[in-house]
Structure formats: structure tokens, C-alpha cells
Amino acid sequence: MDVESSDVIRLIQQYLKENNLLNTLEVLQKETGIGINAVESVENFKNDILKGRWDAVLNTVSQAEISPSKLIDLFEQIILELVELRELGAARSLLRQTEVMDILRETQQNRYLQLENIVSRTTFTLDQARKKREEIALELVNEISSVAPSRLLTLLNQSVKWQQSHGLLPVGSKIDLFKGVAVKSTEHVSRPVKQKLSTIKFPKGQRAECVAYSPDGHTLVTGSADGFVEVWNYNTGKLRKDLMYQAKNVLMMMEESVLSVAFANDGKLVASGSQNGQVKVWRLSDGVCIKRYDSVHSGGVLSLYFSNDKSTLLSSGFDHTIKIMGLKSGKIIREFRGHTSYVNAAVFTPDMTNVISGSSDGSIRIWEQSTGRCIQVLYPIDPKSALSIPQVSSLCPYPYQKEYCVLISNNTESIYLYKLDTGKIEKAFSVEDGPKKLMSAVFSHDCVYVYALGDNGTMYCFDFKTRKLSDSIKVGDLKHTTLVQNTVENTVSSFGNDRYVTTWS
């Protein structure tokens, strides 16, 4: 649907009129040449004419676009009635000092002179003056329409509600209408998630292989085993049908299973990586693939991560490598080799100088981004003291530069924390007499808590500062192995070896 700019101006004019900003209204009308041509009630406007309430009538027509001929009829009628009432001074002023009567003098001189003769007489009677009011009323109401009060505010409220219903804005939050984002409270009290908010249900035989939240926290994107990349309203668990390509069932799609998805930091681009090593970059607004990289990895693409400026895209894969792709050049511009097994996750540090990766070989490696050189190798569990080294399955970056760290999940009874400033890994979070494996971990949206998913069907909530267990929630019989964080809203999503993606709030 196209919105006419003139309609927007009229909405603003109505707002100015209702708030008595008449000088601003007059300037806007003169600058744009557009009038409101609308009143709250056409019937009331007509009654003002029939009862001779000319002040109200003139105020209305001064803010509307009325044809000159009908304005002349109106002003002539008012002048004649003023003469009849012996208000000769007012009649002469209206005749000689208004723009409408100047047009009459230039275009219909004889008619103007007749009025001059009438207002110059000392006595005058006009029996037909009031009988013409009805004729004038019928003429003018055809050029004036009715509009409900506060139309601009009503439309804006409806727009916000529509965006909330489609997951574009959070429900229940105060909205900054100018920026189109939720207003963050300065007196925020963080609480652990407690209950199931929604469930995305995939067809039988299909499931989500990867999930990512948009940077504004309003949208969820999934990559599935059947190759589809889909955009969801996480509040309702429904596909976003406000995206026209999804409404027409024209979905973003890969040739094989989608193993990884990632958003650019402005939320406008989504990258997806598939089982056959292919990477595509999509424009979220219209579902168009703007970049395609074939055979980035010789096996599946296990993780993707955009640089802060959207100039590069980081990937890792089954082929034990990490690569950086240039979004402008469309070429691979850096390669990192050193891991001896699958590289399950790789992320940029906030200053973009280094890359952190986690592998099935059990190691965390820190790489110099500009050269591809490995500058540090870390193991959550000392290889010399372990019979087998558990694989590093996921990395979750702490989003604040001041105390940058990464949560490391390696399917053991603990979640580990790597701190960039110390360059060390320390045992951070575990549950006494808890599950044998904590399979995935993420920060809460405000980083007050750490959520971890156990192999016993329980999601645990730890206090980030004290590292003590704060709460837990049963996820039921869901075969979920992975958590995904929402960095804006107090929600997390889980998915795994069934056909459901569940959001908790």
C-alpha cells in the first residue's frame, strides 16, 4: 500500500489544529499548498452555515481547500447579512480587505460593484438573504469531509499494535515512537525466565538445525534440515507474514540442510551456511540472496559471525578450518588452520583484532585476525589429566567490551568462562549433584544471568557475578540440546532433536 505524502501533511495539520498551534498550521498550509478539507462532523459544519455562525464557518474554510467560486458565494452571503444587520463596518472590511473579494473584483467586476453599492447605502432590506444559506451549505459540504479527532495519534497507535502483533516490536514495553524501539527502563529488575512463551512447530520429519535472534530482539530466524531459512514472530510462534515473500510462500532456501544462521548487527542481513559448505547472505526485507559463496568449506558450515561493520563474514566448518569472507569482494580473504577436528564455533572479539574458536578437538584457539596466526591454545580440561578430551560445542560471547568473556560449553558437568583480559579459562558454573552434561549455555539479555541446558531435561539459571544457582525450570520431554540468547528481551529459545523450537520468558 502506498501512502500519499499529502495525506501525511493533512494528518499533521489536524494535529496542529487540535492542539491550537494555529500559526504553525498556517505556515505549513502556505508552504505546502495543502489544506485539511476535513472536520470532525460535516453535519455540524452544515448547521453552522444554516444558523449563520459565520465565525466558525470562516475558521473552517480558512484551513481548507475550497474552490474560489464557492468562497465568493459564501463571502457575498456573509456581507449581505452583515448589511441587513446594519454591521456596515464589518461588511465593508470583508468586501474590501479579503483575498476572496479581490478575486471577485478582478474576475467579476459588475458583481463586485453591486456589493459596493449595497454596503454604501444607509438603508437596506434583504428578505432573501437567509434563504440562500441552505444552497451555500450544500455547495460547501461537498468539498469538506468528516474525520475523527486525533486521527494521527490513532493511526500511530494502530501501527504500533500491528508491529507488536507481527513481532516487529516487543509486547508490553513502552515504545519510543520516533526510533521505533522499546524504551529500556533505567530501573530494571532482572528476573530469570519462568515459563514457556511460544512454540514453533515444524512438519513431521523436519526440525530446526540452527536458530538466531535479530539484534533488536524482535525476530527469530531458523535454518532447517529441509534447507529453508524462515523468519518467525517468537511471541506467537508463527511465520512473519508481513514479509511479502513469506506471505506468498516464497522462502529463503539452501540446496541442503541449513546448519548455521547469523544476523548482521543492523538486522538487515542474514547469513546461512549449509551441509555442502555453501554460504548465502540474504536481505531480510525481501528475501533476496545478495551474496553466494560456494564450497567455502569442504564439509558443512557449523557457524557464522558478521564483523561489526558488515564488511566481512566469519565461518567455521567440518573441514577443521575457519575462514573470513569479504562481503564486497565475494572472496575468501583469510583462512585459519590448526584445529584437528570440527570447528563448531568461531566469533570475532569486540575490537575485531582477534578470532576465538572452539573445536571438537577440545581446544579453544585465539587467532590474530589480520594474519591468521594462532596466538594462544587453551583447554577447559587439561589433556594430560583426562582420558578423553570433551569437544567444545558452543561459544557465547559476553556483549560488553569492559569485561569481555566467552561462555564455553563442552558437554561436561560445568560451563567454562574464558576472560580476554587474563587470557585464562576458569571453571565457572556447575550444579551440585546435577546433570552429567551441561550441553549449551547463554547469557541473559542483560547479562545478569547465565542459562545452561542440562541433559536431564532441566534449564538452569546461574547468577553471573556470584556463579551460584538462582533457579531452574523443567523443559519437559523436549529433546533439546541448544540454547539461543535474545540480547534485548528477557527470553531464551531452545531446540534440538525434535521438531520444536521453544521460547521461554
The pLDDT, as a whole number, for residue 187 is: 45
Tell whether the model's pLDDT for residue 383 goes beyond 80: no
- Of 34, 47, 31, 27, give the one whose Cα is nearest residue 8: 34
Instruction: Report the interhelical angle of 54-62 vs 68-84 (nearest 10°).
Output: 160
The stretch 74-79 carries a mean pLDDT of 88
DSSP-assigned letters across all residues of 192-246: ---SEEEEEEPPTT--EEEEEE-TTSS-EEEEETTSEEEEEETTTTEE-TTSHHH
The DSSP H or E segment spanning 59 is: helix 54-62
User: How far is C-alpha 414 from the chain's CA centre?
Assistant: 36
Q: Which residues contact 67 (CB under 8 A, 6 or more apart)?
A: 143
Backbone angles phi, psi at 283, to 5 degrees: -90, 120
Please state, in angstroms and rounded to a whole number, the distance separating the CA atoms of residues 264 and 219: 13
DSSP strands (E only) in 309-411: 312-317, 321-326, 332-337, 343-348, 354-359, 364-368, 374-378, 394-397, 405-409
Domains along the sequence of the chain with CATH: 37-146 (no CATH), 189-504 (2.130.10.10)
Please state, in angstroms and rounded to a whole number, the distance separating the CA atoms of residues 14 and 20: 10
Tell whether the model's pLDDT for residue 158 goes beyond 80: no
Tell whether the model's pLDDT for residue 387 goes beyond 80: no
Label residue 179 by pLDDT band (50, 70, 90).
low
The pLDDT, as a whole number, for residue 89 is: 87
Instruction: Report the interhelical angle of 68-84 vs 99-107 (nearest 10°).
Output: 110
Tell whether the model's pLDDT for residue 286 goes beyond 90: yes
The pLDDT, as a whole number, for residue 173 is: 60
Label residue 63 by pLDDT band (50, 70, 90).
confident
Mean pLDDT (the chain) is 87
The stretch 196-213 carries a mean pLDDT of 94
Label residue 169 by pLDDT band (50, 70, 90).
low
How many CA atoms lie less than 13 Å away from 409 in the CB half-sphere? Answer: 26
The pLDDT, as a whole number, for residue 127 is: 53
Label residue 493 by pLDDT band (50, 70, 90).
very high
The pLDDT, as a whole number, for residue 186 is: 45
Dihedral class, residue 200 (left if φ above 0, else alpha if ψ from -120 to 50, else beta): beta
Tell whether the model's pLDDT for residue 373 goes beyond 90: yes
Please state, in angstroms and rounded to a whole number, the distance separating the CA atoms of residues 260 and 229: 10
Tell whether the model's pLDDT for residue 101 goes beyond 70: yes
- Of 216, 174, 153, 194, give the one whose Cα is nearest residue 474: 194
Tell whether the model's pLDDT for residue 174 goes beyond 70: no
The pLDDT, as a whole number, for residue 165 is: 63
The stretch 31-48 carries a mean pLDDT of 81
SS3 readout for 240-276 = CCCCHHHHCCCCEECCCCEEEEEECCCCCEEEEEECC
Label residue 350 by pLDDT band (50, 70, 90).
confident
User: How far is C-alpha 114 from the chain's CA centre?
Assistant: 64
Label residue 164 by pLDDT band (50, 70, 90).
low
The stretch 86-91 carries a mean pLDDT of 86
DSSP-assigned letters across all residues of 122-171: S----TTTGGGHHHHHHHHHTT-EE--TTHHHHHHHHHHHHHHHTTSS-T
Please state, in angstroms and rounded to a whole number, the distance separating the CA atoms of residues 10 and 29: 9
Tell whether the model's pLDDT for residue 124 goes beyond 60: no
- Of 79, 144, 84, give the one whose Cα is nearest residue 115: 79
The string of pLDDT tens digits covering residues 301-343 is: 999 999 999 999 999 999 999 999 999 999 999 999 999 999 9
The pLDDT, as a whole number, for residue 408 is: 93
Radius of gyration of the chain (CA): 35
503: three-class secondary structure by DSSP: strand
The answer to whether 360 touches 351, Cβ cutoff 8 Å, is no
Q: What is the pTM of this model?
A: 0.69
Residues facing 322 on adjacent strands: 316, 336
The answer to whether 258 touches 276, Cβ cutoff 8 Å, is no
Tell whether the model's pLDDT for residue 183 goes beyond 80: no
Please state, in angstroms and rounded to a whole number, the distance separating the CA atoms of residues 235 and 493: 11
% of the chain residues with pLDDT over 90: 47
Count other C-beta atoms under 10 Å from residue 294's C-beta: 10
CA angle 211, 215, 217 (to 5 degrees): 75
Residue type at position 197: L
The answer to whether 431 touches 415, Cβ cutoff 8 Å, is no
